[in-house]
Structure 1
């Protein structure tokens, strides 16, 4: 029994099931963004768990869904800068446009690349199981590296970031990035790997009986 489908510009098709699943993931992102479920905030550090639904969508649907979900994630992250996130509010006060670039394009690229890289990893994984956990790790790494890369590019020389750096010992930019990447990785990577991997594998099995070759 064939499904009604919606054509996209490249000639590929997104099925109604794909669109429904993407909509469900968008709903989860919005729910997590505006409840304590989406962020771990401790000692001034903000670790996002919203990478998880982005990774899930990118893995079970594809790069286009990852791009869309990452964009939604980025927009909600930017919205957090308007009073909900002290760190984001500080960046917004310095330069709203650059803050937008740190929040939105980085997450959009993360979602898209997660989908692209997952396709490559899935082709190498004969078990069709390990790839989902690797995909979760990829999403977490990309999210942290892209966000930190943009943050350092646009805000490293600002008084605000330098005051944070002074509080941890006036590190070099490389050491500063490694410090925050390490802390974020310890918290975000296991969650995205385990939860994202298990949920993605389960949803793929339930929603898509046959593993799609993409």
Structure 2
């Protein structure tokens, strides 16, 4: 009976976090305006869910994030939507599977990486105040590095065409994005995961 109650509570908690992901993905709250770029916050509940509920929950939440991204890029396409929506594929069925990997697969990795990293830090007894921002930072960078790296490896020619640059320039553009967008997003994630995570861990430890 205790296991059944625990499973029900886990499912309810995952569903609640999924609702937060969907809310952020579909409202302006999912973006924070920085001096140069807009930083996404949608991956933050994915990381927090992985910390509180484990890697499996993190994977489910990451998939939710990815599906929201796929739907958004399908309904409101941009220059790079071909890399995030299988319905915007420029290279047929292979392109569809590649887009699924970028939009959903890479986002699943956020939750898996954050969940297992948190488990590792707990085993080595790293201080919570140190562990939370590290998991937040790395979880965010997993998103940026895997998404942009996959675009480079799978869509380099299409990316060059969309950006109207030579294919030799794609690597430089990818690195600019990782540096100018990915690092500020990771810093924001580190701060928010540390602040929110500390409160949520305290709350769950007494519940």
Give the TM-score taking structure 2 as reference length: 0.82
Alignment-derived partner of residue 104 in structure 2: 104
Q: How far apart are the structure 1 equivalents of 2:62 and 2:24?
A: 14
Alignment-derived partner of residue 59 in structure 1: 51
Q: How far apart are the structure 1 equivalents of 2:183 and 2:98?
A: 27
Q: Which runs of 5+ in 1 are unaligned?
A: 7-12
* Residues 124-143 of structure 1 mapped to structure 2, 5 A cutoff: 124-143=124-143
C-alpha displacement at 1:152, in angstroms?
1.2
Q: How far apart are the structure 2 equivalents of 1:64 and 1:74?
A: 15
Instruction: Please say if residues 136 and 186 of structure 2, whose CA atoms lie closer than 8 Å, have aligned partners that are also in contact.
Output: yes
Instruction: Please say if residues 31 and 38 of structure 2, whose CA atoms lie closer than 8 Å, have aligned partners that are also in contact.
Output: yes
Instruction: Please say if residues 78 and 88 of structure 1, whose CA atoms lie closer than 8 Å, have aligned partners that are also in contact.
Output: no
Count of matched residue pairs: 197
Alignment-derived partner of residue 163 in structure 2: 164
Instruction: Please say if residues 60 and 108 of structure 2, whose CA atoms lie closer than 8 Å, have aligned partners that are also in contact.
Output: yes
Q: 1:16 to 1:47 in 2, by over 3 A?
A: same
Higher share of residues assigned helix:
2
C-alpha displacement at 1:73, in angstroms?
0.6
Question: Cα RMSD (Å) of the superposition?
Answer: 2.8
Alignment-derived partner of residue 145 in structure 1: 145
Q: How far apart are the structure 2 equivalents of 1:101 and 1:140?
A: 17
Q: 1:68 to 1:163 in 2, by over 3 A?
A: closer
Q: Does 1:205 align with 2:207?
A: no
C-alpha displacement at 1:128, in angstroms?
2.2
C-alpha displacement at 1:162, in angstroms?
4.0
C-alpha displacement at 1:120, in angstroms?
1.0
What is the aligned counterpart of 1:74 among 66, 69, 82? 66
Q: 1:130 to 1:87 in 2, by over 3 A?
A: farther
Q: 1:164 to 1:40 in 2, by over 3 A?
A: farther
Give the TM-score taking structure 1 as reference length: 0.80
Q: Which runs of 5+ in 2 are unaligned?
A: none
C-alpha displacement at 1:88, in angstroms?
4.5
Task: Please list the CA deviations of residues 61-88 of structure 1 after superposition, one character each: whole Å capped at 9, or x if unmatched.
Answer: 1101101100111111111111324144
